[in-house]
Structure formats: structure tokens, C-alpha cells
Chains A and B, each alone.
Chain A
Amino acid sequence: MSLLATLRIPADADRLAAVRSFVRETAAAHGVRPEAVPDVVQAVDESVCNVIVHGYAGDAGSVEVGLHREGDDLVVRLSDQARPFDPTSMPAPDLDVPLAARRPGGMGVHLARELMDEVRHRVPPGSGNELTMVKRDAFGPIKTGR
């Protein structure tokens, strides 16, 4: 797996736009299929936002976004020192029922899991969180749907 680029931001929601720009620009510079980029941008935005809002919850800290290439897959790795929380443990919301019957929270997590092919979480040595998200065939040929 080769590292394409990393970005470290303070845990501040005002930096989310910079994160999205970083993902778009890095993806474009390294030849990620254009149709895959919006999914990755949104998954990263939602996941970083969750770390800032729920992980750090107002405390100072930072989030590192790493973009890697593994074969034709784009691998995103988010690292933080917030309290350990595994977003993949959250049950998916039932979108066929009215709002009232849905479990609270988790829309950002749901979107990240919808938009990426794989989402994994682990608590690295020394605590914090490491979230790995994979977009398969992000560097592959353009799919025509035929």
C-alpha cells in the first residue's frame, strides 16, 4: 500500500471544507475515477465530522487523514486521539420506517458505510481511533454500465 498524501487538521468543524478540498485534489492528482470522488469526499467528511463533534466533543485535538493506493483500491485512513468509539458497531438505520421509528443518530456513519465498500475500526496502541475506509476499483477503468 502506497501513501498518496496526508492532511492533519485541528478538531474544528470549520476545517471540514479543507478536508473535502484535500480529498478532491489528491484524488484528481492521482487519477481516481471522477465518479468515485464524491462518494469518498462525503464518507471522509461525515467521518471526520463525527470525530470532531462526538469524539472530541469540544476538546482540543487533531484528526489525520491519509489517502493510500492499494492496487486499484483507494484506502482512506483516519487517525485521532479522541475517546475510542467504533462507528461500525452502530446498527444501520431502517430507512423504510418513518423518522419516529428510527434509531437516533448515525446518519453520517450510515452514509460512510453506504458510500464506501469497506469500513473498519480499531483502537491503536495508546488509544484513540483508526478508521479505515476502502473504495474498491477507485483507480480502475471507467464503468459504462454495460
Chain B
Amino acid sequence: MDLTVEQEPGAITIFALTGELDYSNFEQLVDAARQAYQQGARRLLLDLAGVEYMGSSGLVALHAVAMIFSGQEPPDPEEGWAAYRTLTDDVEGHTHEFVKLLRPSAQVVNVLERTGMRQFFEVHVDRSAAVASF
């Protein structure tokens, strides 16, 4: 998986991901998000157009990234989904405010929907509209 970082006005950062997101590399995304947040980014748009495959590890990464941009340190992913109980206050009943998705493939959308995670993320198809939505 490759990740390129772009900046937009308003402390909006865009990660453009390409390749396959699985257990072998999902922590790269989390680490990049943590680094961006520490450097002042406060809104993150994940451009997933180039992601050819996402496993369930990618879901863990998406939630960890959402936690980081909510000002929380995500739990150790090895602890599994139980650790994500702490995220509840941020996600229950509404979408993440500071992390949004752009142009996910049908496979990525399928994974989000089949795991019930689609409801937690705002999904955009147009980059300008996505940036303006923050």
C-alpha cells in the first residue's frame, strides 16, 4: 500500500491510498494519521479510489484513525473489537465528524456495509464537495 499526503486550507489533510490494505500494512495508515494529527491536522479525507482491496484489518485502521482525529489514542488493535468500545461516544448514532471517505471502490463499500460500519462514515464521490463538507 502506498500513501501520499496532500494539504487543503483549513487544516484539512488528504491521504490518497493506493494498493491493498490488509493486516500486513494497516498500521501504516494508523501511524500516518497519528503523525499528521501531531503535526496539526484536524480533518482528514481518506481518498480510497486507489484501494484495490481492503480486509477487515482496514476497518480497524479506519476506526483507529477516527479515534486519533477525535483526540483519543486508539487502543492496541491486537485487543480486537472489544477495545473499540471506548469509541462509542463518538460514533453511536452518527458519523465521524473529522474523518471522511472519498471514492471507495465497490469492494470497500461492500466490506463497510457487510460489517455494519458504513453508517459511521460520510462517503463522498467528489473531492471538492468532500473538502467543503468539513
Residues on A facing B (Cβ under 8 Å) = 13-14, 16-17, 20, 38, 41-42, 45-46, 49, 52-53, 93, 95-96, 98-100, 102-108, 110-111, 114-115
Interface of A is mostly: helix
Contact B115–A13 (Cβ < 8 Å): no
Residues of chain B with a CB closer than 8 A to A53's CB: 23
| A105 vs chain B, min Cβ distance (A) | 5
State the B residues within 8 Å of A (CB): 20, 22-24, 53, 55-57, 59, 80-85, 87-88, 91-93, 107, 110-111, 114-116
Chain A residues contacting B22 (CB-CB under 8 Å) are: 13, 16-17, 45, 49
Tell me whether A104 and B20 are in contact (CB under 8 A).
Answer: no
Shortest C-beta distance, A7 to chain B (Å), equals: 16
With A42-B111, A98-B88, A104-B80 as given contacts, are A49 and B55 in contact (CB-CB < 8 Å)? yes
Instruction: Please measure, in the bound complex, the distance between the C-alpha atom of A45 and the C-alpha atom of B22, giving whole angstroms.
Output: 9
Contact (Cβ within 8 A) B115 A99: no
Q: Is A108 a contact of B81 with CB atoms below 8 Å? A: no
